[in-house]
Amino acid sequence: MKRCKVVIQPGNREIFASEGDTVMDAIRGSGADFDFPCGGKGRCGKCRVRIVGGADSPSDGEKEFLDEEEIEAGIRLACFTAIHGDMEVRLYEEKKREHKILLAGEERAVFLEPLLKKTYVEVAQPTLHDQSSDWKRLKESLALKVNPGGKFKIRLPVLRSLPETLRESQHRVTVVTEGEEVLGIEGPDTTRTMFGVAFDIGTTTVVGYLMDLLTGKEMSVVSALNPQAKFGADVITRTNFADQEKNGLEILQTAVVEAIDDLVGEAAEKAGIRRTDIYALTMVGNTCMHHLFAGLNPKYIALSPYVPVTGDALSFDAADFRIHINPAGKVFLFPNIAGFVGGDTVAVILATELDRSGDIKLAVDIGTNGEIVLGFGERLVSCSTAAGPAFEGAQISSGMRGAIGAIDHVYFGDQLKYSVIGGVKPEGICGSGLLDVVAGLVRLGIVDANGRILPPDSITNPSARPFLKHIVKNNKANAFLLADQGSTGHGRPIMITQKDVRELQLAKGAISTGIKILMEIYGIRTEDIKEVLLAGAFGNYLDPRSACAIGLLPPELENRIKMVGNAAGSGSKLALLSRSELERASQIAGSVEYVELGAYAGFYDMFVDSLKF
């Protein structure tokens, strides 16, 4: 088979590919940092590259995303394009974007009760009259301090190093335990040092909070994009990658574990401590992230009847995951509620204390999926909606995540104005911006109740006049031009196409249907909901007026909306600081009812009804 040389720019990475491989295969093989939001399935049109040399001619499918001018200029979609000869590939998104990652979340007081315990003991020295074993003497000292009737166990590697550790420390040691299991022994007295990192593994971003487990103080916060995004923007694409690509599961697991290991190092450096001072990590994430982190195949979550491998809270030795913290260190994974309502939702409930609320509240976390929880006290009902890709930009023509260059808010005053993250020329639009534009267009009558972008001559609202010139033709359909090619960072216009409005309709229809069904199951009316808690990055940055104007959230609740920030991260921190909170997370996961929306009688009619603006 013919071998072709592919040079990836920038970076001048050379790779040899077989004739017929796609450019995507070559980019992945080169290790270049480049995202394939739809996993290379040809659905998103985002894997734009510039190619010089041996590519095949564009297929009809590819031409749907590219105009003639672009094809002429060598722009191609990497997942469509087959390699037929030597070529140079220039990655379109050359800039390493700084992403706006939500770090802060709802905080509340917690009784400190770390997941691992440290106890300083002075072990009796052996003599010719007391020849009992090292372990027996340690157990006796430990029992006196911790639990007189305790049945202590010790791990074999710790037992192996016990004689030297005892003698090097003159028999004065600190014992690290979980319950009655000895996980580590170190000398002499290290009881005043114990840190942990609480992680929130999002589909898009990973955030870690380094906490002092003895004082509860937050020492540093670190974040990064989830490197799995290269293999797909959403959980379904990643699930397919894990299941269908060679070593797919291992590739995805390694990617996230390495990112976490790097973040642990960064967090320790920022706080001025050693990695070995870290003893516990907590992880929250949706069920797919939970499975991929644990190396469990999420395949059956994506297939009806959507069953996870396990919903249980899990714990592992950090060393088994090649995460470099103290050798005694452990990793604690939050439990899940269902295949599409995961530990991140459990963490939101834990942080906001929905399970102890006396008032009915609605919590909505819109990420790459939309998870919704309704209720109070002992009865909480939940569901998940496939709402995310529109809000995360994956299926929007000029969509992008909330990063430098994204239009994040749009204002229709006397004229059209927008704000751009980082104050630079715009390069796309993120979810909150999209919501503002469409809400504005609906209010002005430029988009009708069915979601149609109307032609200028059929718009009657006088307030719409200043904006009629923004209505343009795109692929024979109407579109709304936000920024012309001269005012963007990449020299291409940014517009909201008819298809984009349809995508937003589907997303808002899904969330609004989820809310209505949960209310119906709970037997309440909108006015019974005392508070709407918006969690997650998108929820934090969106304008509630826009969300209510298009019916994403019930308009009657506009004044009851509260942003709770990264509540999933806050829940992770609570569990890291307190074993009772970790145990409560399991109770929450086991008691929250899950509603499979697709199986709910009347779902389809309600969904169709909810599509209207």
- Cβ closest to ligand FES, residue 36 vs residue 334: 36
Closest contact distance (angstroms) between CB of 230 and ligand FES is 10
Closest contact distance (angstroms) between CB of 248 and ligand FES is 16
CA distance 219 to 322: 23
CA distance 454 to 415: 19
- CB-count exposure of residue 14 (10 Å: 0-12, 13-18, 19+): exposed
- CB-count exposure of residue 304 (10 Å: 0-12, 13-18, 19+): exposed
- Cβ closest to ligand FES, residue 78 vs residue 532: 78
Closest contact distance (angstroms) between CB of 46 and ligand FES is 5
CA distance 101 to 203: 12
Instruction: Give whole-number Cα distances, 17 to 4, 189, 494, in Å.
Output: 5, 57, 35
CA distance 101 to 217: 21
Closest contact distance (angstroms) between CB of 39 and ligand FES is 7
- Cβ closest to ligand FES, residue 121 vs residue 251: 251
Listed residue (250, 225, 238, 245) closest to 301, CA to CA: 238
Closest contact distance (angstroms) between CB of 245 and ligand FES is 14
Confirm if 305 and 251 have CB atoms less than 8 A apart.
no
- Cβ closest to ligand FES, residue 220 vs residue 395: 395
Closest contact distance (angstroms) between CB of 493 and ligand FES is 20
Closest contact distance (angstroms) between CB of 435 and ligand FES is 23
- Cβ closest to ligand FES, residue 38 vs residue 123: 38
- Cβ closest to ligand FES, residue 44 vs residue 173: 44
Residue 240 CB coordination number (10 Å): 19
- Sheet hosting strand 406-412, strand order edge to edge: 416-420, 406-412, 428-429
**DSSP alpha helix (H) spans, 171-247:** 235-244
Residues within the interface to ligand FES (CB under 6 A): 36-38, 40, 42-47, 77, 79
Listed residue (473, 492, 478) closest to 426, CA to CA: 492
Closest contact distance (angstroms) between CB of 570 and ligand FES is 34
Closest contact distance (angstroms) between CB of 32 and ligand FES is 14
The SS3 of residue 417 is strand
- Cβ closest to ligand FES, residue 43 vs residue 530: 43
Residue 3 phi, psi dihedral angles, 5° rounding: -100, 135
- Cβ closest to ligand FES, residue 25 vs residue 355: 25
- Cβ closest to ligand FES, residue 42 vs residue 445: 42
